[in-house]
């Protein structure tokens, strides 16, 4: 298993936008792709009893994705969820729910994202190992704010 996972900035923006719809509640969804690349997401309903501190992906969405994968659909590689408390690292509750080694957990908080892979005995709560998110080719464990756009300027001392 690699230590990096790629995702496009557009896809990550979609996940952060989903989390921002109701920042007081955990948003969640499914991740599709390959072991080291997230290529699609599917937002899902959070059916947890208390969505302020927990998430439970709608089992109907989960099973539909598993069925689709078995018939040639996109590969389910993990899921994402948000943390209203501002800490994008797995909670003890998350560690207790980890039961599928290799699965990716992308966690967002306060407009940032971090990624972890389930690994029994791993360094985070003995359940996860951090992996670096590589956003559109730029290595960034935790993406910061976008840099300001620079106006295009032609090279100096160059005539056509
Ligand atoms: Zn969590």
Are 65 and 77 within 8 A, CB to CB? no
Q: What are phi and psi of 121, to 5 degrees?
A: 80, 5
Task: Reply yes or no on whether the pLDDT at 160 is more than 60.
Answer: no
Least Cα distance to 108 among 126, 136, 133, 74 occurs for 133
Give SS3 for 25. Answer: coil
What pTM value is reported for the model?
A: 0.83
Going from the Cα of 25 to the center of ligand 1, the distance in angstroms, rounded, reads 11
Residue 95 CA to ligand 1 centre (angstroms): 8
pLDDT at 35: 84
Compute the distance between CA of residue 47 and CA of residue 49 in angstroms, rounded to an integer: 6
Domains of the chain by residue range? 4-139
Q: How many CA atoms lie within 13 A of 1 on its CB side?
A: 16
Spot the catalytic one: 26, 118, 119, 149.
26
C-beta separation of 3 from 132 below 8 A: yes
For residue 131, the number of C-alpha atoms closer than 13 Å in the C-beta half-sphere is: 26
- Counting Cα atoms < 13 Å in the Cβ hemisphere of 77 gives 22
| Catalytic-residue membership of 26 | yes
Here the tokens at position 71 are: 């018939």
Domain 4-139 fold is Cytidine Deaminase; domain 2 (3.40.140)
- Ligand 1 centroid distance, CA of 74 (Å): 24
Tens of pLDDT, residue by residue over 37-83, are 999 999 999 999 999 999 999 999 999 999 999 999 999 999 999 99
């Amino acid at each position: 298993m690699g230590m990096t996972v790629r995702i496009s900035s557009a896809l990550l923006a979609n996940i952060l936008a989903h989390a921002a719809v109701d920042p007081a509640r955990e948003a969640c969804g499914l991740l599709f792709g390959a072991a080291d690349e997230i290529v699609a997401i599917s937002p899902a309903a959070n059916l947890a009893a208390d969505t302020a501190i927990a998430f439970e992906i709608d089992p109907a969405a989960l099973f539909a994705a598993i069925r689709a994968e078995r018939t040639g659909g996109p590969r389910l590689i993990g899921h994402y969820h948000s943390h209203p408390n501002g800490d994008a690292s797995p909670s003890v509750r998350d560690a207790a729910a980890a039961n599928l080694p290799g699965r990716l957990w992308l966690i967002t908080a306060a407009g940032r994202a971090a990624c972890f892979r389930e690994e029994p005995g791993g360094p985070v709560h003995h359940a996860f190992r951090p992996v670096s998110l590589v956003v559109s080719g730029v290595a960034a464990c935790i993406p910061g704010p976008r840099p300001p756009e620079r106006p295009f300027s032609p090279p100096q001392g160059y005539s056509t």
